[in-house]
């Protein structure tokens, strides 16, 4: 694959899974997501939600990569392996993305904003924080303190970021937008050490990953600088190169999709 690698929507389309907008999830898809998160929360070993959230921040080491040239590849790898862990709980489930550029009046998406869902506790509303992941003993659960919805990024802001042709410039500007949404959400999300414990973290980062995907489609001649391609993305056993083509990771961000069977191979 060349340094200018771009997603290959033509590769194995039937096998791809689709990450969908949070607001467009069907009732069944949302129920699957909640079931997967709940099941992961119930596991206390390295397959469980607490372990995955802790990789980003506390307990030490804090492995996430921010304000750094590997910001986008590292988080793509992080979401990929977390999504795989969820799929072991509920086959076929995918991470949805929170499009914070639209429907600003709503702020936090409804699926994540309600304490209860379907008569039960909503696992997308908040999460426990394991004792070794807390900055202080009282920090037992995630919290949010969202700002005025009108202050979320606008489509024009995102469009200006996507217009950049240089990967590193694009990444720097996208990370600034990303930081703004973390700060806007407030509470746990505004703090790197614990941000990933908030279930909303994954939807926010799926949106960031989606914007990188859209940038790749828009600028097929651009790409990650060659000197970064073989860099490892610790603790994940893959390199930057492995993250460039999401179809190789088994997903895409198709707005709509349909497939039919062909005649087969005879």
Partner 1 sequence: MVDRFTTAPLELPATDRPFERADLIFYGLDHSGASFEARVFMDQRGVGGDADTTHRAYVGSFFILGHGGCFGDVGHCDIAAERDPFDLRPAHQLEPAVRVLTVTEPLRALLERGVEAAKVTVTSHTEGRAPNDVLTFETVRLATYA
Residues in contact with partner 1 by CB under 8 A are 58, 60, 62, 64-68, 70, 135, 145, 160, 169, 172-173, 176-180, 182-183, 186, 190-193, 195, 231, 234
- What are the distances in angstroms from CA 142 to CA 133, 185, 199, 201, 223? 11, 12, 9, 11, 36
- Closest to partner 1 by CB, 177 vs 207, is 177
Residue 86 Cβ, how far from partner 1 at the closest point, in Å?
A: 24
Q: Which residues pair with 17 in a beta bridge?
A: 251
138 in Cβ contact with 144 (< 8 Å): no
CB of 184 to partner 1, least distance (A): 8
For 128-156, the DSSP string reads: B--GGG-SSTT--B-------GGGSPPHH
CB atoms within 10 A of CB 127: 22
Closest CB to partner 1 among 22 and 70?
A: 70
Q: Whose Cβ is closer to partner 1: residue 88's or residue 191's?
A: 191
Q: Cβ closer to partner 1: 182 or 210?
A: 182
Q: What are phi and psi of 8, to 5 degrees?
A: -120, 85
In angstroms, the CA 28 to CA 43 distance is 23
Q: How far is the CB of 187 from partner 1 (least distance, A)?
A: 8
Q: Which is nearer to partner 1, 66 or 104 (CB)?
A: 66
Q: How far is the CB of 120 from partner 1 (least distance, A)?
A: 31
Nearer residue to partner 1 within complex by CB, 123 or 190: 190
What does the radius of gyration of the chain's CA atoms come to, in whole angstroms? 18
Asked if residues 62 and 206 have their Cβ atoms less than 8 Å apart, the reply is: no
| φ/ψ (deg, to 5) at 117 | -145, 130
Shortest distance in whole angstroms from residue 224 CB to partner 1: 16
Q: Please state the closest distance from residue 64 (CB atom) to partner 1, in A.
A: 8
DSSP, collapsed to helix, strand or coil, labels residue 24 as helix
């Amino acid at each position: 694959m060349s340094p200018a690698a771009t997603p290959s929507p033509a590769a194995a389309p039937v096998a791809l899974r689709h990450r969908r907008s949070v607001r467009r999830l069907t009732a069944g898809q949302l129920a699957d997501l909640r079931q997967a998160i709940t099941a992961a929360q119930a596991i206390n070993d390295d397959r469980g939600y607490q372990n995955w959230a802790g990789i980003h921040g506390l307990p030490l080491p804090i492995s996430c990569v921010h304000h750094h040239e590997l910001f986008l590849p590292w988080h793509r790898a992080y979401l990929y392996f977390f999504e795989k862990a969820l799929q072991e709980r509920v086959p076929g489930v995918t991470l949805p993305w929170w499009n914070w550029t639209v429907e600003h009046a709503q702020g936090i998406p409804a699926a994540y904003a309600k304490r209860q869902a379907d008569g039960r506790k909503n696992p997308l509303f908040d999460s426990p924080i394991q004792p070794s992941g807390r900055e202080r003993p009282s920090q037992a659960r995630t919290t949010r303190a969202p700002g005025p919805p009108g202050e979320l990024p606008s489509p024009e802001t995102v469009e200006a970021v996507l217009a950049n042709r240089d990967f590193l410039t694009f990444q720097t500007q996208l990370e600034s937008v990303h930081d703004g949404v973390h700060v806007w959400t407030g509470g746990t999300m505004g703090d790197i050490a614990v941000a990933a414990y908030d279930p909303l973290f994954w939807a926010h980062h799926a949106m960031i990953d989606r914007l990188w995907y859209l940038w790749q489609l828009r600028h097929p001649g651009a790409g990650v600088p060659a000197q970064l391609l073989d860099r490892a993305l610790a603790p994940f056993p893959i390199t930057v190169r492995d993250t460039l083509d999401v179809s190789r990771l088994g997903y895409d961000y198709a707005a709509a999709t349909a497939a039919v069977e062909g005649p087969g191979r005879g």
